Chains A and B, each alone.
Chain A
Amino acid sequence: RKEVEQDPGPFNVPEGATVAFNCTYSNSASQSFFWYRQDCRKEPKLLMSVYSSGNEDGRFTAQLNRASQYISLLIRDSKLSDSATYLCVVNGWVSNYQLIWGAGTKLIIKP
């Protein structure tokens, strides 16, 4: 089983729709969770951290489910500019400086 697993997609979604995707992680002791966004041929940028209580930032909502070991990202009222690859990131367990990165879920918003 991969340490951090994501559906690679692509998710093809019409503009204005709501889309959600999950990410599963293998280590139940993980403490830090993030969603990063990566545009084509660009560097990743932090979208949001994921807290135990869940968090919301505008149209984006992140949730953590420790029992089932997954985090989710919900995007409401999707915009064309939301088209990107969304990377799930979990802290590693070998080193305190290690982050484990998923391969990403590609999202394409269509007009």
Chain B
Amino acid sequence: SQTIHQWPATLVQPVGSPLSLECTVEGTSNPNLYWYRQAAGRGLQLLFYSVGIGQISSEVPQNLSASRPQDRQFILSSKKLLLSDSGFYLCAWTGSGRRYQETQYFGPGTRLLVL
């Protein structure tokens, strides 16, 4: 069966510090991968998605970046965190088939607090 891992679970970082969040998927090949952010009381905001190694699409311009160095690994990064980067970061995957028609499966998420 497929599983998706994210770490760390919780992170407290000072403003201006770098960020690296990692997501890995097991039990599937060539998944579509997604990074979302959820602010308190808000819906999920799609940040990046990837349909293959090295292929990254950005939905929202900001100081974050993403990379996909391996088929089942997706990394979210920032060189300098802002207070507004605080939130619940979720990684998700779908099969490589019918895009938005696919069910999205989420990792456990990382709670980031920028102080």
Query: A residues near B, CB below 8 A?
Result: 4, 8, 31-32, 34, 41-46, 49, 87, 91-92, 94-104
Q: What are the nearest 4 A-B pairs in CB distance? A: A43-B106, A101-B43, A91-B100, A101-B44
B102-115 interface code vs A (CB 8 A; 1 in, 0 out):
01111111010000
Whether the Cβ atoms of A8 and B41 lie closer than 8 Å is yes
Known: A44-B90, A91-B100, A97-B34. 11 other contacts (CB 8 A): A31-B101, A43-B106, A46-B103, A46-B105, A94-B59, A95-B57, A95-B59, A98-B46, A98-B49, A98-B100, A99-B100
The yes or no answer to B24 lying at the interface (CB within 8 A) is no
Number of interface residues of B (CB under 8 A): 26
B76-109 interface code vs A (CB 8 A; 1 in, 0 out):
0000000000001010000000011101111111
Query: B residues near A, CB below 8 A?
Result: 32, 34, 36, 41-46, 49, 51, 57, 59, 88, 90, 99-101, 103-109, 111
Partner of A44, one of B51, B57, B59, B106: B106
* B41 surroundings in chain A (CB, below 8 A): 8, 103
Interface of A is mostly: loop
Closest-CB distance, A44 to chain B (whole angstroms): 6
**Given A97-B57, A99-B46, does the pair A42, B99 have CB atoms closer than 8 Å?**
no
Closest-CB distance, A13 to chain B (whole angstroms): 20
Whether the Cβ atoms of B43 and A43 lie closer than 8 Å is no
**Given A43-B109, A97-B57, does the pair A32, B43 have CB atoms closer than 8 Å?**
no
Assembly CA distance A42 to B6 (angstroms)? 13
* B51 surroundings in chain A (CB, below 8 A): 97
